Amino acid sequence: MSSLARYLKLKEKNVSGYDLNQSKITNQLNDLEIKIIHREQIDLIEKIYLNVEDTIIIYTPAIQSDNILYKYFIENNFKIIKRSDLLQLITHDKFTIAVSGTHGKTTVTSLLTNIFSHSDIEFTSFSGGIMKNFNSNLHVQGDKIFIVEADEYDKSFLKLNPDILCINNIDEDHLDVYDDYNDLKYSFEKFIKQIKRGGSLIFNENLNFKGKTFGIKKESNYKLHNIVFKNLKSIFDVEYENIFLQNIELNMVGFHNCLNALAAIAISLEFNIPKEIIKKGLKEFKGIERRFSVELTDPVIYIDDYAHHPSEINSVYKTLSDLFPKKKKFAIFQPHLYSRTRDFMDDFANSLSNFDKVALLDIYPAREESIPGISSEKLLEKIEVFDKSLTDEDGIINIINQNDNEVVVTMGAGDIGNLVNKIKKEIAVEI
């Protein structure tokens, strides 16, 4: 949502907004003269936005139906559209690259953005995370092509008609919207049918569609070879149509991130972007906030990640194990959504049981009401780790100060990211 707010501001629209919590992102928007309020009070809204004829209200599913502001706009007959409708309006007559999948959308989008930024392509990119190269989740270099994340939640991606569609993966999730994995996959199949005539589909080799594949299998169109992790970097080769891109450097680690990079490379090659520009774009990529973001390497290794699904936690743990096989690993996790915690309770427990030490924050509810019997305490009971605890913001600092940590990782899609700087300072000062 914030990238769209930035974009509309660049288009010289008056933009304001509401968010429950103050954060780095809302502070940045305020700096851009996009006023963000944090209380459900009509009198906090500037008068210019109370003109029904001139104002459009854009909302996400995070806004509950009993929100005072939302109800006010409905009762007073404002034009109200969802975020996905706005994205459709912006992109409907433009060449659109849509990046979809349960995991890795933001990373692929951001990597692709950085590659394109080294070319003369006129494009705009909306990313779901803050790209460190641009200190923003929006990059504008023209408006002939749009790179967007296609979100499967609430079937929002079905509003888009892409020219190029990338499907990174499909993993069971959002079971408050979908019946099961097959229902989720069916929505992806419907999305594929919305590709514009003459468009193309690029997808992970483990999926079964018609198009070009990427992965490690011999029969894939785009293949990874010779992956090496060194000094918190990945180095690998890519093969396509019997041609090699060799010694590609990426300032991210983990096999999953190499696959994310491969997806971005595949899309770039579809645009005939020269190999040297692709390699430069990847080598100079500085990363994304909260995507295996290395916050400290001394005196303790501290990683922050957006992981909020068991598969993502598994990827984080696998990467940590590859990088630091002999070091003890401490996970601080904030579950995201009561429904997701309920649906994947055992899977979360299994994923977190790999760590040497675990601390859980309360569930971040986002758009949901609490569900009886579903809690972090219930999840903690199932985690098979001796050193485990429930904690809060102050408790995290106390645990970190116990001086027995070697690798610390914070994970979650809620507001745990707001604690990163505080944790960094505490580690740097106290340990």
Instruction: Report the CATH number at residue 34.
Output: 3.40.50.720
* CATH code of the domain covering residue 182: 3.40.1190.10
Residue-wise pLDDT tens digits, 15-71? 999 998 888 899 999 999 999 999 999 999 999 999 999 999 999 988 988 999 999
Q: For residues 138 and 217, state if they share a domain.
A: yes
Q: Which domain holds residue 166?
A: 92-283
* CATH code of the domain covering residue 344: 3.90.190.20
Residue 86 lies in a domain: no
Residue 184 lies in a domain: yes
Residue 302 lies in a domain: yes
Burial of 134 (0-12, 13-18, 19+ CB in 10 A): middle
Q: For residues 298 and 276, state if they share a domain.
A: no
Residue 159 lies in a domain: yes
Phi/psi for 379 (5° steps) reads -65, -40
Q: For residues 173 and 253, state if they share a domain.
A: yes
Residue 319 lies in a domain: yes
Among the candidates 241, 256, 283, a domain finishes at 283
Distance separating alpha carbons of residues 308 and 411, to the nearest angstrom: 7
Q: Is-contact 114 281, C-beta < 8 A?
A: yes
Q: For residues 315 and 413, state if they share a domain.
A: yes
Distance separating alpha carbons of residues 134 and 116, to the nearest angstrom: 13
Q: pLDDT digit of tens for each residue in the chain (431 aa)?
A: 999 999 999 999 999 999 988 888 999 999 999 999 999 999 999 999 999 999 999 999 889 889 999 999 999 999 999 999 999 999 999 999 999 999 999 999 999 999 999 999 999 999 999 999 999 999 999 999 999 999 998 899 999 999 999 999 999 888 788 899 999 999 999 999 999 999 999 999 999 999 999 999 999 999 999 999 988 899 999 999 888 999 999 999 999 999 999 999 999 999 999 999 999 999 999 999 989 999 998 888 999 999 999 999 999 999 999 999 999 999 999 999 999 999 999 999 999 999 999 999 999 998 888 999 999 999 999 999 999 999 998 888 888 877 677 999 999 999 999 899 888 888 876 44
- State residue 431's pLDDT score: 40
Q: For residues 339 and 265, state if they share a domain.
A: no
CB atoms within 10 A of CB 9: 16
Number of domains in the chain: 3
Phi/psi for 275 (5° steps) reads -60, -40
Residue 48 lies in a domain: yes
Residue 288 lies in a domain: no
Q: For residues 318 and 396, state if they share a domain.
A: yes
* Partners of 420 in beta bridges: none
Q: For residues 277 and 304, state if they share a domain.
A: no
Distance separating alpha carbons of residues 165 and 99, to the nearest angstrom: 6
Amino acid at 386: F
Among the candidates 41, 58, 81, a domain finishes at 81
Angle of helix 310-323 relative to helix 345-352, nearest 10 degrees? 10
Q: For residues 191 and 219, state if they share a domain.
A: yes
Among the candidates 283, 316, 336, a domain finishes at 283
Q: For residues 33 and 145, state if they share a domain.
A: no
Q: What is residue 4's three-state secondary structure?
A: helix
Distance separating alpha carbons of residues 231 and 323, to the nearest angstrom: 9
Q: For residues 345 and 404, state if they share a domain.
A: yes
- State residue 75's pLDDT score: 97
Q: For residues 229 and 102, state if they share a domain.
A: yes
Q: For residues 262 and 136, state if they share a domain.
A: yes
Residue 87 lies in a domain: no
- State residue 399's pLDDT score: 82
Single pTM value for the model = 0.91
Is omega for the bond preceding 299 within 30 degrees of 0, making it cis? yes
Amino acid at 51: N
